[in-house]
């Protein structure tokens, strides 16, 4: 019994140490956003640098069709006009494949891009990987990238229902 408890404790400490290290290695506000190319929900390759000159909301999320992810995506959808008026492009990224993204976007009438990072390279590079031993998911993190390509804001504790409004408020204050 004691050995199992010690092993569980060591496993938990290792997990938290890896999470802390990933957060420390992630790009920070003020740094240039690492460029990437990923396929959208239609399979078209999209580069982050193609949106230079606009604000870009890159939001990582765990999984299509889960309650929190659907709530967050629909909030971005509902605030799409306000974000567009502020010269902002929304890009959602998860480890789901393009077919899953296409179904999710169609079902919920999402007017923005959903990118598939099946390999997890971009999710990892942005410090948003959550490794649950039996599966990997993207954490609910957001990077707000300024028109010059620099990271203006990093959101690590995201409320799916109010996050898009939080970004709109930031953009209104900053413009």
| CA dist., res. 54 & res. 101, Å (int) | 23
**Residue tagged active-site, from 26, 56, 69, 154:** 69
Q: Is the pLDDT of residue 18 over 80?
A: no
- Which pLDDT does position 87 carry in this prediction? 96
Q: Is the pLDDT of residue 132 over 70?
A: yes
pLDDT tens digits along 62-92: 999 999 999 999 999 999 999 999 999 999 9
| CA dist., res. 47 & res. 31, Å (int) | 18
Structure pTM?
0.84
pLDDT tens digits along 25-51: 789 999 999 999 999 999 999 999 999
Q: Specify the fold of 2-174.
A: Glutaredoxin (3.40.30)
- The answer to whether 45 and 37 have CB atoms below 8 angstroms apart is yes
Q: Is the pLDDT of residue 8 over 70?
A: no
For the question of residue 69 being annotated catalytic, the response is yes
Domain boundaries, the chain: 2-174
């Amino acid at each position: 019994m004691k050995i199992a408890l010690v092993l569980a404790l060591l496993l938990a400490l290792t997990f938290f140490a890896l999470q802390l290290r990933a957060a420390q290695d992630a790009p920070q506000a003020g740094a240039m956003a690492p460029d990437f190319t990923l396929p959208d929900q239609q399979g078209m390759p999209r580069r982050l640098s193609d949106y230079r000159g606009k604000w870009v909301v890159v939001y990582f999320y765990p999984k299509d069709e889960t309650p929190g992810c659907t709530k967050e995506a629909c909030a971005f959808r509902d605030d799409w006009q306000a974000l567009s008026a502020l010269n902002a492009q929304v890009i959602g990224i998860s480890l789901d494949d393009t077919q899953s993204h296409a179904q999710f976007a169609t079902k919920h009438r999402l007017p923005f891009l959903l990118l598939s990072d099946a390999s997890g390279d971009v999710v990892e590079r942005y410090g948003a990987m959550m490794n649950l031993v039996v599966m990997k998911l993207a954490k609910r993190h957001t990077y707000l990238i300024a028109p010059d390509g620099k990271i203006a804001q990093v959101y690590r504790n995201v409320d799916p229902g109010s996050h898009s409004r939080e970004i709109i408020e930031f953009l209104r204050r900053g413009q």
